[in-house]
Amino acid sequence: MSRRFVIRSIILAILCIVTLVLWADYWVTSSTQKQLYSNISDIPKNKVGLLLGTAKHIKKGVNNPYYQNRIDAAVELYNSGKIEYILISGDNSTLHYNEPKMMLADLIARGIPAEKIFIDDAGLRTLDSILRCRDIFGEDHFTIISQQFHNERALFIANHKDINAIAYNAKDVQEDLGQKVLAREKLARVKMLIDLLLNTQAKYDYGSKIEIK
């Protein structure tokens, strides 16, 4: 095997990967635009808002702006009468890391009644959150709450699982952190397509049903 052949093969493989990433990114974005809302007056009302979890802090002592902006968006939706309940779905994989618990406390501190908030602490990934909202909590019409790039991927999953969802865009982050997150998002979209192709299910057993009322 010649050196020239190896170099050409590597270049071809890189081009294929880049093409796949760009194609996945375009497909997810272009197919979900009609389901995205950034203006509170325009978004239709739904019973449940699915608040997708994230860490409250980037590192010790440094707040995560994605987290705060999602809390703000959920509060805005509830106070505007666009949702009746908030289902927080996030990672609770260790004793010292619990996204839903942190979000619950902050929502209550912002005036959302505790009885209007439900918790799914097995939402380890966006796919898990979407599937469990339908299969555990019995909701197939709901409003997803996150930043636009994340909402696009969540909506894409919902659409391919025959779930009727819309999404409200929390304020995005424009600093260096935002650029790094968007770069990772492009790879996450490829992984999502593979999961959908393989019909990957939520990691944890679905368990008992929970009615939101």
Give the list of residues 6+ apart from residue 143 with CB closer than 8 angstroms, or none: 43, 46, 48, 49, 50, 77, 82, 83, 165, 166, 167, 168
Q: What is the pLDDT of residue 166?
A: 98
Q: Is the pLDDT of residue 116 over 80?
A: yes
Q: Give the separation between CA 148 and CA 127, rounded to whole angstroms.
A: 16
Give the list of residues 6+ apart from residue 178 with CB closer than 8 angstroms, or none: 172
Average pLDDT score over residue span 113-135: 95
| Position 211 in a domain | no
Tell me how crowded residue 164 is: count the other CB atoms within 10 A of its CB.
12
Sign of CA dihedral 134, 138, 141, 146: negative
Q: What is the pLDDT of residue 95?
A: 67
Q: Is the pLDDT of residue 125 over 80?
A: yes
In this structure, what token pair is assigned to residue 158? Answer: 């919902």
| Position 207 in a domain | no
pTM for this structure?
A: 0.91
Contact 157, 60 (CB under 8 A): no
Q: If phi over 0 gives left and psi between -120 and 50 gives alpha, with beta otherwise, what is residue 179?
A: alpha
| Position 212 in a domain | no
pLDDT band for 99, please (50, 70, 90 cuts). very high
| Position 175 in a domain | yes
How many independent structural domains does the chain possess?
1
What range does the domain containing 183 cover? 3-197
Q: Give the separation between CA 148 and CA 187, rounded to whole angstroms.
A: 16
Query: What does the pLDDT look like over 24-69, one tens digit per residue?
Result: 899 999 999 999 999 999 999 999 999 999 999 887 778 899 999 9
Could you tell me the CATH number of the domain that includes residue 75?
Answer: 3.40.50.620
What pairing do the DSSP bridges indicate for beta strands 36-37 and 46-52?
A: unpaired
Q: Is the pLDDT of residue 1 over 70?
A: no
Query: What does the pLDDT look like over 133-167, one tens digit per residue?
Result: 999 999 999 999 999 999 999 999 999 999 999 99
| Position 126 in a domain | yes
Q: What is the pLDDT of residue 12?
A: 80
